[in-house]
Structure 1
């Protein structure tokens, strides 16, 4: 994958029954990256992905997919796992994967060969000739995922890929995503589960209320919230409060406060000089989940205020 941008979107808008489900979304997905589209249920993630793929047309805005202004022109270079899963239940696992590859131009014999290899790598070698109807939900979902990548696409689009998978299969999926990225593919996936995005994403966007509310790296998202300090003195003393930031609050035998902009070091000297000492000191960086909740919560609060005013 050598394109500077695998996917771009500018001002995408989609209306359903007069309501803007997607309201002016901009995206730029670097080639060769793992890019997450995060948002709560109903935020417009699936609609955005479908517009990017050309499954539905935007009412307004422009998009490119692997350099093509008409996404379907790049169809054979794309692998897609939709939110609504679906395989032919009478097909064997290997044939199901080969069939999905054939839809993207992969020769049938090569597809069956690659399917057997992929199933073995995913720990499903024993199921190569099992019919889909006999597979567990998680195994069937992995089979459909393998069918989405068997033709070695340049771009892999996964809509809520972790939904319904147990922890073991979630780990297998994460490993597959990383392996495909290392192969050179671009991975674009949607999710509302922050743990997967925090581990996987090179960059991400947060969509809420149909709009893009944040774009950047995981560290950029976490930096939207300040770090928290937990300070434990040698002994409890109310006088300590005068030496701590104004937002310091007691917590257990210590204190919690926001990390000052100039760091923790300027606070330590007066605490030591005053004889309070340091029995424990931890700096807790915000998680992606906390940043997500703040972004989405702010949107929900604004929506409620608008309803009250109306």
Structure 2
């Protein structure tokens, strides 16, 4: 049922959270849970409300008022206070489900007495009330949630440093402008999956593959600035692609040292990838130190910083070329 003037469909579409809503919610949930203490599901679902200045409590039987059918599109938007209330709770709940699935967050048996264990949204099909052109009713949201617990906490091993970087969405959030292809993003996704399972050799090998994908993405954006770079990309000559991208970056004086740093990190990641994918008897025992938890965690953080700097350097070089 679409409701009068399609209002049911409009409400369901407006309350559906965006990808960016979910990413923001994951960051805030991990921040909330960083103390290692249990937090009620109600508090978790409200993490975005104060940030977006949206009411966390709607009062008694709130209703969306729409004077006429012609006003549905204007009034029923994602920013309407009632809709935003449910949209942000939905985003936080989906984010929580992701974090549980990733093994970063666990349910606790006894919710804390000082926090709300009553959810804003759950599997009981909440309804958004409305009145349009004198007709009053409600839209059931039907969120596809599993049964929710009363409270959650971060897993003990991550209490000291909540690993936002272990979530693929959070890791790739700052790399959007680089334009990594589906395979490059998959390498990141599976590298993080390997990290969460303690498979550090697989993790570092996949980070090396993601690094190479990033250089091709950078090269594709800069190829119009250098014929040799375009040729290297067409010939799939990875080493030359990296070399030529660095040369194009160095054409902007302020990026000279950045290009040197990027080249150094890419060389390390390529060495680690080769170590994992091409086993041989060469003296590479010194690399073994990267394949335990602490060094692998540091490498993940450094890789994120490196890919973010590469993204920023490409954007800066493109901006200077347009001046």
TM-score clears 0.5: no
Which structure is higher in RCO with an 8 Å CA cutoff and minimum separation 6? 1
Structure with the bigger percentage of strand:
1
Give TM-score scaled by structure 2 length: 0.28
